[in-house]
Structure 1
Amino acid sequence: MIGEKNIEEMNLLRNKEVINFQKVIYIFLLFVLIFSMCNYLIKGIFKTILGFNVDFVTYYSAARVIKYGEKLYDNTVLLKIQRESGLPESEGPMPYLYPPLFAVLMLPFTFMNYTFAKNLWLFLNQAFLMGALVFTWYSAKDKISCIELIFLLFLLLNFAPIFSNLNLGQVSILIFLLVASSFYLFKKRKDFWTGVLLAFATMFKITPGLLIVYFLWKKEYRVFFSALFSLIILSLLSIVLVGIETNYFYITKILLPLARSRIPHPSNQSYLGFFLRLFSNSDFANTLSIAASLITLMLAGFCCRKKVDRSDFRFNLEFSLVITAIFLISRVTWEHHLVWLLFPFITILVYLTEMRKIFLLVALAFSYAFIALQFNYIDPRLAKGIFILAMSPRMYGVLILYWLLVYTLLIFKNEKKKDMLPGIKY
């Protein structure tokens, strides 16, 4: 009897210790979440409200140019309207480098004063971001636990590309929403609307067009032709609304030169930007970038070669790999572009936690840290000797994520037993 009492007391003691440990963990997570929320409010919200949203100023000015029937891509006209409207000014005219149709879609903001329009855009971006995260998560899982929600909020509230988007007044969060929702609809077998949303994303920026090519590679022809048809309709609409000359000017004088651009600035975190900073010979750097891009694309194509049902989680991983590859091979990858990476981060996090692959989770944490943490990597003092390697942290993070996805796809078991991946959606 005495022995049984001792055992019961020991069990009770162990249970209390477990409960106390759980309380400590929950309190720690609560403090982390509070810190993250404060971080987001300061760097994402207050800094945006008080700061100079250079890209939104450009969108707003371009929409006014359309409203007044002036030449959209004339920098002197942009600067003139900017000054006449009492908008904040940068050092010289801020060129508008987006498709004409995007300026048309921004027209409703011109019926408001700039300050109200800027704050409304900030509010809308919060909604876009929440929507993108919901579509991303529910493309992978049917439900979310309290712990998963805390981790999701941590990813969101400390992600530097989000702060860059908000501070600049950028459109990348809206594109992220279109990309995430298009994949969600694809999983739901809504092929027509998948193509439509990808076409809209491509009309804002060209890079989502590579996702359309991915669906062609996977022989998802209904998605591809829906996107192609939508692009044709949107292009015709753009010609009707702003004229064929403006659209021709955009393609020949803006889009094609951008495709040939060589920007060594540290803000460019693509392969090309990395090699241009390392080598003074831009032709040699460009050749290395093309070689690295071809290897990246061929490996991604190899990993995505299998024909799988869209309900298979492998599709989520493949789509994530293509998104990640886009930022490596692009001629220009600014920090704010990387907000899309929340899709692959969440996707592979779901998979690795279900499979309990601790080592790969550590690698994922390093990838996130390289991309999410803020420090002055564009400091010109780093552009000397070996320190120049410190000017490409975002690229390192993207590269780690890319290889993590490649490895995961190469070892991925095309298995649909619930006992293997109990939390993942099929």
Structure 2
Amino acid sequence: MAGTDVAGAEKELRWPRSTPGRIAVLALVAVVCGVFLEVIPGRRGWFDVNIYYETVRSWQHGGRIYDYLRPGTGYGFTYPPFAAVCLAPLGLVGWHAALAIDLAATVLAGAAVLYWLVDPIARRRGWNRWYGFGLVGCLFAVLNPVRDTFSFGQINLMLMFLVFCDYRNLRRGSRFTGIGIGLATAIKLTPALFIAYLLVTRRRRETLTALGTLLGAVLVGFVAMPQQSRFFWTDALWNTDRIGSIPYISNQSLLGFTARVLPQAAEKPVWLVLTAAVLACWARRSRRAAAIGDQRAGFALTGLTCCLVSPITWVHHLVWMLPALLVLADAGLSSTDRARRRRLLAATAGIWVLLVSGLVWLWRYHWDGVGGLLGGNSYVLVALALLPGMPIGEGAERGLTPAQEAAAPAPARV
């Protein structure tokens, strides 16, 4: 009976065969993208990409990268020197060309990651992959973290691209696995936990590759700007005041959470205890995911944990929650238990609505009371719930090895 229910649901979920149905899907895509393109540009003033641009221009004219501050603010460049080396081409063109390059690279990187995650789901369920990719892309584009990534001109999706290159390489058994993670960590330290993921899942060669790549990139930074490299690794790295206020509502990390809800004397000790518990849960679940061949879940868990344990996790950093959201949705669609299916899909829809809504910003200036506790910390609370609750070994990666998946017949296109 359960199998019949699932088969019926599968039939309902197939993409439209008729021309009017396909036109309706394309119209939805156009409307969502139109809203995205109309609302987003300039809302955050391209703040971060402007800092990247002016920093590398200053460096190319004899300045030091950590001396530049955006006029009227106390904010400047906060990434390792290797990041400035990678961003140096922006300084060779005009501002509008640099902005176009940043946006194009962000779109391409996000599209690649989405395709790698969505295509296996579409193939297994018999969907037309391009309809699936288009619709999920629209749902992805309107998420608050994605909107902020574009409007700030942030590099989050480019870092995800580098990390998920290694996701693909790991599943293919490529000897180049680890290079993308090493480069991403050298550009911005947030993805460093993915190196630990390789280590705790006993991928020794890949771990050494990632560490070697990271070390090589750090050395490039030292060669390019030795004094600024020493300053970063001995001073700037440890000075969180250069990044922003820890209790500010946009910081949806464990440290931001404890800073908002606890007295100052208690926030750091409690943060350390929570961080240790989160890392223990992550390591246990990651090893389990790797043991059954579910690298997608392992990477999704690591992305969530990066956001939780990093001292600063701005809302735009939460693009790392997307893989976990897709894992949750795929497990719901694949479940043969009708009640479980409904629970998982309802959870997916609820988290998506929450991430679209930008709910946390209602407590931008005051985060006290029950509303501030739950609403103002809603993103970090969702990440905490997903860490132990996200399904493993279900959906598109049910413990199959890459060889087994390659041998599996592709579903018929519709």
Whole-Å Cα distance in 2 between the matches of residues 415 and 182 of structure 1?
18
Whole-Å Cα distance in 2 between the matches of residues 246 and 201 of structure 1?
20
What's the CA shift for 1:388? 1.6
What's the CA shift for 1:353? 1.4
Q: What does the per-residue CA deviation read over 1:355-386, in whole Å, with 9 as the maximum and x for residues that have no partner?
A: 25221121122222222323462545643422
> Cα distance 1:308–1:140, how it changes in 2: closer, same or farther (>3 A)?
farther
What's the CA shift for 1:54? 1.2
* Superposition pairs of residues 315-354 of structure 1, within 5 angstroms: 315-354=295-334
* Superposition pairs of residues 47-86 of structure 1, within 5 angstroms: 47-48=41-42, 52-74=45-67, 78-79=68-69
What's the CA shift for 1:302? 1.8
What's the CA shift for 1:337? 0.6
1:136/1:180 contact within 8 Å kept? no
Kindly name which structure, 1 or 2, has the bigger radius of gyration based on alpha carbons: 1
Whole-Å Cα distance in 1 between the matches of residues 197 and 89 of structure 2?
34
SS of the aligned residue for 2:82 comes to helix
2:289/2:393 contact within 8 Å kept? no
Whole-Å Cα distance in 1 between the matches of residues 367 and 172 of structure 2?
48
Structure-1 residue corresponding to 2:224: 241
> Cα distance 1:178–1:139, how it changes in 2: closer, same or farther (>3 A)?
farther
1:377/1:392 contact within 8 Å kept? no
2:331/2:344 contact within 8 Å kept? no
The TM-score normalised by the length of structure 1 is: 0.79
What's the CA shift for 1:123? 2.0
Structure-2 residue corresponding to 1:82: none
Q: What does the per-residue CA deviation read over 1:88-119, in whole Å, with 9 as the maximum and x for residues that have no partner?
A: x6423532111111111111111211122112
> Cα distance 1:274–1:257, how it changes in 2: closer, same or farther (>3 A)?
same
Whole-Å Cα distance in 1 between the matches of residues 153 and 290 of structure 2?
39
> Cα distance 1:377–1:319, how it changes in 2: closer, same or farther (>3 A)?
same
Structure-2 residue corresponding to 1:402: 387
What's the CA shift for 1:120? 2.4
* 2:274 corresponds to which of 292, 317, 329: 292
Structure-1 residue corresponding to 2:8: none
> Cα distance 1:315–1:276, how it changes in 2: closer, same or farther (>3 A)?
same
Indicate yes or no: 2:190 matched with 1:207. yes
* Superposition pairs of residues 175-186 of structure 1, within 5 angstroms: 175-186=159-170
> Cα distance 1:336–1:380, how it changes in 2: closer, same or farther (>3 A)?
closer
Structure-1 residue corresponding to 2:32: 36
Whole-Å Cα distance in 1 between the matches of residues 232 and 360 of structure 2?
33
Indicate yes or no: 2:95 matched with 1:114. yes
* 1:369 corresponds to which of 353, 369, 375: 353
Indicate yes or no: 2:88 matched with 1:92. no
* 1:358 corresponds to which of 336, 342, 346: 342
> Cα distance 1:92–1:187, how it changes in 2: closer, same or farther (>3 A)?
same
1:270/1:330 contact within 8 Å kept? yes
Point out the more displaced range, 131-140 or 180-189: 131-140
Q: CA RMSD in A?
A: 3.3
2:301/2:387 contact within 8 Å kept? yes
What's the CA shift for 1:22? 9.5
Indicate yes or no: 2:113 matched with 1:132. yes
Whole-Å Cα distance in 1 between the matches of residues 305 and 330 of structure 2?
20
2:307/2:318 contact within 8 Å kept? yes
Unmatched runs of 5 consecutive residues or more in structure 1: 1-18, 80-88
Structure-2 residue corresponding to 1:255: 237
Report the residue type matching 1:229 in the other structure.
G
Whole-Å Cα distance in 2 between the matches of residues 102 and 215 of structure 1?
23
2:251/2:313 contact within 8 Å kept? yes
* 2:157 corresponds to which of 165, 169, 173: 173
Point out the more displaced range, 27-36 or 106-115: 27-36
What's the CA shift for 1:196? 0.9
1:139/1:187 contact within 8 Å kept? no
Structure-2 residue corresponding to 1:304: 286
1:202/1:208 contact within 8 Å kept? yes
What's the CA shift for 1:200? 0.7
1:138/1:184 contact within 8 Å kept? no
1:303/1:409 contact within 8 Å kept? no
> Cα distance 1:378–1:247, how it changes in 2: closer, same or farther (>3 A)?
farther
Q: What does the per-residue CA deviation read over 1:226-245, in whole Å, with 9 as the maximum and x for residues that have no partner?
A: 011111211221111112x2
> Cα distance 1:261–1:107, how it changes in 2: closer, same or farther (>3 A)?
closer
The TM-score normalised by the length of structure 2 is: 0.82
> Cα distance 1:66–1:140, how it changes in 2: closer, same or farther (>3 A)?
farther
Point out the more displaced range, 113-122 or 35-44: 35-44
* Superposition pairs of residues 255-294 of structure 1, within 5 angstroms: 255-258=237-240, 263-279=246-262, 281-294=263-276
Which structure has more RCO (C-alpha within 8 Å, separation ≥ 6)? 2
* Superposition pairs of residues 188-207 of structure 1, within 5 angstroms: 188-192=172-176, 194-207=177-190
> Cα distance 1:382–1:232, how it changes in 2: closer, same or farther (>3 A)?
closer
